[in-house]
Amino acid sequence: MSDRGTTKGFAVLSAAGMMVKVLSLLYIPFLKGIITDEGYGIYGAAYSVYVFIFVITNSGIPVAISKLISELTAIRNYKDALKSFKISRFFLMIIGIFMTVMMIIFAKPLSKLVHYEKAYLSILALSPAILFTSIASSYRGYFQGWGNMVPTAVSQVIEQIANTIFSLVFASILIKYGVEAGCAGGTIGTSLGAFFSAAYLMIYYERHKKIKVPKGYNELEVERYSTEEIMKKIAGYGIPITIAVGMTYAGNLIDVGNTKARLMAGGLPDAYASTLYGYLVKYQQLINVPIAIVTSLAVAILPAIASAAILNDRKAVRDKIMYAFRICFLVAIPSAFGLALLSKEIFYMLKFGEGAFLMLYGSIVLVLMSIMQIQTTILQSVGKLYTATIYSIIGIIFKIAANYYLIAIPEINILGAVYGSIIGYIIPILLNNMMIRKTLKVKVRLFRTSIKPLISSLFMSTVVYGTLKVLLTALKFIESGYTKNAIATIISIMVGAYAYVFSLVLTGGISEEDLNHIPSKFKKIMPSFLLKRIR
């Protein structure tokens, strides 16, 4: 894919990812208002079960589809490219049906496993989503293999819109039958959203089939692959990815039951333990908004590392790795500062209720998650698939152990989960860094790379804090505390964004090369004097 295509793909995916994450945040206060804080804890537990089964089903094969189609079409092997897609789609459909049935059968044991027996109905309601997402994932892998990110982006937005609407509707209808039923209603939207997403992708595929064998195409000129060879290729790449992602989410799933059990071991009643876990879910969903941008950046930039490594171009590998980390820090560090500084105001604006203290103490997790995501993708791109998995497992073990001890301490309680996450990310980050140095002979200077975004974030925080205080004082005439807070928070965020970019320009944190990866629409709203200074 060309640089321009990569930039366009990043722009489309990041825009869709942000829209999806924002929508998922906006409907939380309404859903929480319907099912209560206790219900939201139950809802979060059911979702943890669903997400684990989802990644086991859908994390590996779609990546394999994308990789195979990209490789085969590059050598004009159109028939095998289409064949690999159809084989993968069939596999995903069978796996999706099987996992859906298993989720239905074992819904009760799974709810007991995570110590949330009230989540049983919600797990049942989520089970059809596994089949629909499996179908959708196969088509997303197909289009991404062609470098067409638009169908994926549109389908994600459709899925979230449907999820938001139907979740609120069914939660409102079923809550009169109890909290368990209301939580189940809140998860029905996920299954319906996945259905509409899959339907859109299937229709788009039928109308915009990309793989067409040209007239006069001579099969003998191209090396063809047997069905068995294609299946081996799919498994060879898909299985390690599935294991790597699956183990991470397995740790999260264990963490669900571990968190509530240890809160209760610390002397908290069942209902309050569920409420505190609901705080943790809200905190995690909020930090996932900037993580969506980092994920899009990784997808758009990091594939180039693999080609440079194969060519043994050490300088290119180093440049691309450091560039990836620069982009990562440019997004993650200011996001962490902003979320920590405005934690109370953002929670109030989003009507999240209690739990802002988790963001105040735990925003550093956002940066650590971003670093580990980049490192893992680097290792996977150079064939160190199982190494990344092993390091992730080591981190999970330390996280669970830290959680087990810290959460049961009454003075720490739910903050122990945040501290456990910090420990659980730092350890694999250190191990990954050593492996990258050893394998690629590249010294990754993370601290040096983060200095300019760090300085700019400190400047931004000062400006944001001052702006917020001035606005809250100036808006005293507004009687509604919520309206006053929302206006002051939104304006402070906008001012902070400009202050951050301004500081980056002054410190040399943004280069002309960076501008090439910024969507043109964003550049239009940047002051001309800043653009001139960069160039």
Q: Is the pLDDT of residue 465 over 90?
A: yes
By CB neighbour count within 10 A (0-12 exposed, 13-18 middle, 19+ buried), where does 278 fall? Answer: buried
Question: Higher-confidence residue: 414 or 302?
Answer: 414
Q: Is the pLDDT of residue 233 over 50?
A: yes
pTM of the model: 0.74
What integer pLDDT is reported at residue 4 of this predicted model?
A: 47
- Could you give the CA distance from residue 516 to residue 298 in angstroms, rounded to a whole number? 16
In contact, 191 and 126? CB cutoff 8 Å = yes
Q: Which of 521, 481, 527, 480 is nearest to 504 (CA)?
A: 527
pLDDT, tens digit, 9 for 90 and up, residues 321-374: 887 788 889 889 999 999 999 999 988 888 877 888 888 888 999 999 889 888
Among 95-104, 131-140, 478-487, 505-514, the range scoring the smallest mean pLDDT is 505-514
What integer pLDDT is reported at residue 462 of this predicted model?
A: 95
Measured in whole angstroms, how far is the alpha carbon of residue 227 from the centre of its chain? 33
- How far are the Cα atoms of 126, 129, 190, 197 from residue 185, in angstroms, in the given order? 10, 14, 10, 19
Question: Higher-confidence residue: 68 or 88?
Answer: 88
- Could you give the CA distance from residue 107 to residue 441 in angstroms, rounded to a whole number? 48
What integer pLDDT is reported at residue 496 of this predicted model?
A: 92
Q: Which of 239, 129, 131 is nearest to 184 (CA)?
A: 129
Measured in whole angstroms, how far is the alpha carbon of residue 231 from the centre of its chain? 28
> Whole-angstrom distance between the N-terminal and C-terminal Cα of the chain?
26
- Could you give the CA distance from residue 328 to residue 299 in angstroms, rounded to a whole number? 12
In contact, 280 and 258? CB cutoff 8 Å = no
pLDDT > 70: percent of the chain: 79
What residues have CB less than 8 Å from 231, skipping those under 6 apart?
A: 87
In contact, 22 and 292? CB cutoff 8 Å = no
pLDDT confidence bin for 426, thresholds 50/70/90 = very high
What integer pLDDT is reported at residue 5 of this predicted model?
A: 47
What integer pLDDT is reported at residue 437 of this predicted model?
A: 84
Rounded to 5 degrees, φ, ψ at 355 are 115, 5
What is the 3 state secondary structure string of 191-249?
A: HHHHHHHHHHHHHHHHHCCCCCCCCCCCHHHCCCCCHHHHHHHHHHHHHHHHHHHHHHH
By CB neighbour count within 10 A (0-12 exposed, 13-18 middle, 19+ buried), where does 231 fall? Answer: middle
Rounded to 5 degrees, φ, ψ at 363 are -65, -25
Residue type, position 23, single letter:
L
Instruction: List Cβ<8 Å contacts ≥24 apart for 319-325.
Output: 321/378, 321/436, 321/440, 321/442, 321/444, 322/444, 322/445, 322/449, 323/513, 324/297, 324/298, 324/374, 324/378, 325/371, 325/374, 325/444, 325/446, 325/449
pLDDT confidence bin for 8, thresholds 50/70/90 = low
What integer pLDDT is reported at residue 278 of this predicted model?
A: 78
What integer pLDDT is reported at residue 444 of this predicted model?
A: 76
Q: Which of 359, 284, 344, 289 is nearest to 465 (CA)?
A: 344
H helices of 149-178, where?
150-174
Neighbours of 513 (CB within 10 A): 11
What integer pLDDT is reported at residue 192 of this predicted model?
A: 93
What integer pLDDT is reported at residue 195 of this predicted model?
A: 93
- Could you give the CA distance from residue 327 to residue 123 in angstroms, rounded to a whole number? 37
Per DSSP, 302 falls in state: T
Q: Is the pLDDT of residue 251 over 50?
A: yes
Q: Is the pLDDT of residue 39 over 70?
A: yes
pLDDT confidence bin for 48, thresholds 50/70/90 = confident
Q: Is the pLDDT of residue 101 over 80?
A: yes
H helices of 59-178, where?
61-74, 78-105, 107-113, 120-145, 150-174
